């Protein structure tokens, strides 16, 4: 061993110690090695490294090679338009699910099926991912995600981890906060952040007082838009209670302004509370209007509080609204006020009935720091609020905050701890925090800036998703996770809730397409390799079985529109093939037992090799054939 090798070895050993739990360090052998290494390694020169503490509850943030994580993390991908799946606590990225984006690896956005779902768009902006619920906890069926850019809601089927539906939301721009009902897979609520003329066809453009925004309910089972409620203000984040009585939307622009100064003018904006039973009754009774070309029933609830909508005053330009795991409190983060406002959901009925004022539903308003945005929970009565301007997470106790609000003279301090995060945190979430099963193990801080935390990679830096251990009395930062821009939000789900299939089920909706074509052409998808011509449209059916395609060549004519339909006969876990045609922008994935297809024009005569782009076999490179385009 050279001196250098030894150094690397020692560093490695130290790193291990650094990442291993105190419980393991405590055992004699590892402990001895660690101690020895401590003596022989000189501390690094330069600025002191930020240290990460081992987890207090004895489960380390590192997961050994070959070991599985305890949690699935579902991350939105922001302007990348995708969803990402991470394992926690390791923070290993396991998968990316293309949603609103064009993804070259899988062909998403270019395959026939995905193109149809996306309706010709190639981009989107995913902010909020939430899973479907039953009885207040995740039921392992669907993931929902918004597209802020084009007002859409997409659904991912957890069995296949593939988008199975996309719904366009009428009369909406900037669809931002979304939240599903929690008592069952019922409605998913979607907030329009941007007020627009209703109808937006050229009328009322210069008169923003006429602009309005829609709170939209989409059926989580059918993905149909059920109804909309039109309000005068904008709507930012969304939440639901646990009983199916209410949905919520924060409003930061009650002023109805179109510029920054105007939007910040009022000291208080509000939380919209939507009374679902009343809205449902109005829709059933036909006491609705329609707006523009849309047939969706709209309840017009602009202006004043009514049986449909109530406005709970909240200081100042509130952003996040998060309901605690008991279902009792909705916590609204002030953003431009250093406070969070705790709304007692049990009081809302009295406020709707006019027995108390809407503001009387606020039962606590602790000062948590400058720029509070979102709140997560540990299931032990504590809340964790992300504080953007201060770059901290503030841990506070809900009961103490209520006590302090009730009896200001007692000088009760509900703030338990603040921890620095790096830097400018946006969303925050904790393991199972958005369910009644919040388990108080891990907290994730989605920091918008990483600054000096990682190697310089040019003008665009990664973001920094930091993992914080909240299992003990004190929060401890245990991991820095660089992410490609720009995840907004994440939910952390225990692994026993998520059961994807390992082989493609051929019964899902998408297969109706392929079965229809196959029937028309008298083809058995899983057996036949056939070219079916219909004028200038040619369908090419191809099978794949490692390491061969079912056919080594097919012929078409220059100018033909070619649809290649590939069915993978392999029935082995993870034995994916793909289909790529040189020079034609055709490249897509076909998983084990899957079928997938893409359509293109074969413009020029010549020989074009097609090949399998997924490394599937020792003879993967030989897995290819010729498309012969005749003049
Ligand atoms: S937002 S940083 Cu799009 Cu969820 Cu709060
Ligand atoms: Cu099939 Cu590579």
Give one DSSP letter per residue of 260-302, joined into a string: HHHHT--SEEEEEEEEHHHHHHHHHTT--B--TT--S-EEE--
pLDDT band, very low/low/confident/very high, at 59 (cuts 50, 70, 90): low
Q: Measured in angstroms, how far is the CA atom of residue 320 from the centroid of ligand 1? A: 7
The two beta strands, 553-557 and 624-630, are parallel
For 368, residues 6+ apart whose C-beta sits below 8 A from its C-beta are: 338, 339, 340, 385, 387, 394, 396, 415
SS3 520: helix
The pLDDT of residue 406 is: 97
The vertex-260 CA angle with 343 and 372, nearest 5°, equals 35
Closest among 450, 468, 492 to 86, alpha carbons compared = 492
| 78 pocket-lining for ligand 1 (C-beta < 6 Å) | no
Note if the bond before 89 is cis, omega within 30 degrees: yes
Ligand 2 atom nearest 547 alpha carbon: 1
Average of pLDDT values for 518-536? 98
Q: Exposure of 27 by Cβ count < 10 A (0-12 exposed, 13-18 middle, 19+ buried)?
A: exposed
| 176 pocket-lining for ligand 1 (C-beta < 6 Å) | yes
Ligand nearest to the CA of 445: 1
User: Is residue 3 pLDDT above 50, yes or no?
Assistant: no
φ, ψ (nearest 5 deg) of residue 22: -60, -30
The C-alpha torsion from 148 through 153 and 158 to 164, rounded to 10°, is: -120
For 33, residues 6+ apart whose C-beta sits below 8 A from its C-beta are: 13
Ligand nearest to the CA of 568: 2
User: Is residue 55 pLDDT above 60, yes or no?
Assistant: no
Rounded Cα gap, residues 342 and 333, in angstroms: 9
The pLDDT of residue 33 is: 30
SS3 169: coil
Q: Measured in angstroms, how far is the CA atom of residue 625 from the centroid of ligand 2? A: 12
Helix (H) or strand (E) holding 472: none
Average of pLDDT values for 469-491? 96
Average of pLDDT values for 86-94? 97
Ligand 1 atom nearest 176 alpha carbon: 3
> With contact defined as beta carbons under 8 Å apart, do 376 and 440 qualify?
no
Ligand nearest to the CA of 129: 1
Q: Measured in angstroms, how far is the CA atom of residue 427 from the centroid of ligand 1? A: 6
Q: Measured in angstroms, how far is the CA atom of residue 527 from the centroid of ligand 2? A: 18
Q: Measured in angstroms, how far is the CA atom of residue 256 from the centroid of ligand 1? A: 20
The pLDDT of residue 56 is: 46
Ligand 2 pocket by Cβ (under 6 Å): 546, 577, 612, 614-616, 620, 623
User: Is residue 529 pLDDT above 60, yes or no?
Assistant: yes
> With contact defined as beta carbons under 8 Å apart, do 309 and 272 qualify?
yes
User: Is residue 319 pLDDT above 60, yes or no?
Assistant: yes
- End-to-end CA distance of the chain, in Å? 66
| 319 pocket-lining for ligand 1 (C-beta < 6 Å) | yes
The pLDDT of residue 437 is: 98
Q: Measured in angstroms, how far is the CA atom of residue 488 from the centroid of ligand 1? A: 6
Using CA atoms, how far residue 359 sits from 66, 186, 319, 354, in Å, is: 53, 29, 17, 12
Ligand 1 atom nearest 319 alpha carbon: 5
Average of pLDDT values for 119-136? 97
Rounded Cα gap, residues 562 and 475, in angstroms: 58
pLDDT band, very low/low/confident/very high, at 62 (cuts 50, 70, 90): confident
Q: Measured in angstroms, how far is the CA atom of residue 170 from the centroid of ligand 1? A: 22
| 371 pocket-lining for ligand 1 (C-beta < 6 Å) | no
Residue with the nearest Cα to atom 1 of ligand 2? Answer: 577
> With contact defined as beta carbons under 8 Å apart, do 238 and 251 qualify?
no
User: Is residue 6 pLDDT above 70, yes or no?
Assistant: no
The pLDDT of residue 628 is: 98
Residue with the nearest Cα to atom 3 of ligand 1? Answer: 127
> With contact defined as beta carbons under 8 Å apart, do 164 and 185 qualify?
no
| 130 pocket-lining for ligand 1 (C-beta < 6 Å) | no
Ligand 2 atom nearest 613 alpha carbon: 2
Q: Which residue has the higher pLDDT, 19 or 148?
A: 148
φ, ψ (nearest 5 deg) of residue 329: -120, 135
Rounded Cα gap, residues 190 and 173, in angstroms: 11
Ligand nearest to the CA of 387: 1
Ligand nearest to the CA of 578: 2
> With contact defined as beta carbons under 8 Å apart, do 155 and 144 qualify?
yes
Ligand 1 atom nearest 388 alpha carbon: 2
Q: How confident is the model over 367-415, as pLDDT tens digits?
A: 999 999 999 999 999 999 999 999 999 999 999 999 999 999 999 999 9
User: Is residue 289 pLDDT above 50, yes or no?
Assistant: yes
Question: Which pTM was predicted?
Answer: 0.90
Ligand nearest to the CA of 322: 1
Q: Measured in angstroms, how far is the CA atom of residue 543 from the centroid of ligand 2? A: 12
> With contact defined as beta carbons under 8 Å apart, do 200 and 294 qualify?
no
Q: Measured in angstroms, how far is the CA atom of residue 486 from the centroid of ligand 1? A: 11
The pLDDT of residue 61 is: 80
Average of pLDDT values for 464-476? 97
Ligand 1 atom nearest 237 alpha carbon: 4
The vertex-489 CA angle with 491 and 371, nearest 5°, equals 125
Q: What is the percent of the chain with per-residue pLDDT over 70, rounded to a whole number?
A: 91
Rounded Cα gap, residues 84 and 104, in angstroms: 16
| 127 pocket-lining for ligand 1 (C-beta < 6 Å) | yes
pLDDT band, very low/low/confident/very high, at 614 (cuts 50, 70, 90): very high
Ligand 1 atom nearest 386 alpha carbon: 2
Ligand 2 atom nearest 617 alpha carbon: 2
Average pLDDT, the chain: 92
User: Is residue 47 pLDDT above 60, yes or no?
Assistant: no
The pLDDT of residue 492 is: 98
For 104, residues 6+ apart whose C-beta sits below 8 A from its C-beta are: 587
Rounded Cα gap, residues 516 and 565, in angstroms: 12
């Amino acid at each position: 061993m050279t001196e250098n090798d030894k150094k690397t070895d020692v560093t490695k050993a130290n790193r291990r110690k650094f990442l291993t739990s105190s419980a393991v360090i405590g055992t004699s052998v590892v402990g001895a090695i660690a101690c020895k290494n401590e003596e022989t390694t000189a501390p690094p020169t330069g600025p002191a490294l930020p240290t990460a503490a081992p987890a207090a509850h004895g489960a380390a943030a590192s997961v050994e090679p070959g070991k599985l994580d305890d949690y699935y993390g579902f991350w939105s991908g922001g302007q990348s338009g995708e969803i990402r799946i991470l394992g926690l606590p390791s923070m290993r990225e396991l998968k990316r699910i293309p949603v609103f984006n064009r993804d070259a690896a899988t062909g998403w956005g270019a395959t026939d099926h995905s193109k149809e779902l996306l309706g010709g768009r190639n981009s989107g902006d995913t902010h909020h991912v939430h899973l479907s619920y039953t009885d207040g906890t995740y039921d392992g069926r669907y993931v929902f995600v918004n597209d802020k850019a084009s007002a859409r809601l997409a659904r991912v089927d957890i069995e296949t981890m593939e988008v199975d539906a996309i719904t366009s939301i009428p009369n909406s721009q900037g669809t931002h906060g979304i939240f599903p009902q929690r008592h069952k897979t019922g409605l998913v609520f979607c907030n329009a952040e941007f007020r627009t003329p209703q109808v937006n066809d050229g009328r009322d453009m210069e008169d923003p007082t006429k602009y309005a925004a829609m709170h939209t309910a989409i059926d989580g089972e059918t993905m149909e838009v059920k109804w909309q409620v039109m309000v005068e203000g904008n709507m930012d984040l969304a939440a639901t209670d646990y009983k199916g009585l209410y949905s919520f939307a924060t409003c930061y622009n009650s002023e109805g302004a179109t510029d920054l100064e105007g939007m910040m003018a009022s000291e208080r904006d509000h939380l919209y509370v939507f009374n679902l039973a009343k809205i449902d009754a109005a829709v059933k009774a036909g006491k609705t209007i329609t707006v523009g070309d849309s047939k969706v029933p709209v309840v017009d609830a602009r202006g004043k509080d009514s049986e449909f909508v109530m406005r709970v005053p909240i200081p100042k330009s509130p952003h996040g609204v998060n309901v605690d795991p008991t279902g009792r409190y909705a916590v609204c983060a002030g953003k431009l006020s250093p406070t969070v406002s705790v709304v007692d959901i049990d009081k809302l009925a009295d406020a709707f009935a006019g027995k108390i004022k809407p503001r009387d539903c606020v039962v606590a308003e602790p000062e948590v720091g400058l720029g509070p945005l979102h709140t997560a929970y540990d299931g032990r009565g504590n809340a964790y609020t992300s504080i953007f301007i201060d770059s901290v997470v503030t841990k506070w106790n809900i009961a103490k905050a209520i006590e302090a609000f009730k009896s200001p003279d007692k000088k009760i301090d509900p703030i338990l701890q603040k921890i620095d995060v790096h830097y400018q945190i946006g969303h925050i979430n904790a393991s199972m925090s958005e369910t009644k099963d919040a388990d108080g193990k891990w907290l994730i801080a989605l920091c918008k800036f990483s600054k000096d935390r990682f190697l310089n990679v040019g003008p665009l830096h990664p973001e920094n998703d930091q993992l914080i251990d909240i299992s003990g009395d004190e929060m401890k930062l245990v991991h820095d996770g660089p992410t490609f821009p720009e995840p907004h939000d994440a939910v952390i789900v225990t692994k026993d809730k998520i059961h994807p299939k390992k082989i493609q089920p051929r019964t899902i909706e998408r297969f109706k397409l392929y079965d229809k074509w196959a029937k028309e052409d008298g083809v058995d998808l899983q057996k036949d390799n056939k070219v079916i011509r219909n004028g200038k449209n040619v369908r090419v059916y191809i099978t794949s079985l490692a390491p061969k395609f079912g056919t080594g060549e097919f012929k078409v004519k220059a100018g033909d529109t070619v649809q290649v339909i590939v069915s993978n006969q392999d029935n082995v876990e993870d034995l994916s093939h793909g289909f790529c045609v040189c020079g034609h922008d055709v490249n897509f994935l076909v998983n084990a037992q899957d079928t997938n297809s893409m359509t293109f024009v074969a413009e020029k005569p010549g020989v074009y090799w097609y090949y399998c782009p997924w490394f599937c076999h020792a003879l993967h490179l030989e897995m290819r054939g010729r498309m012969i385009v005749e003049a």
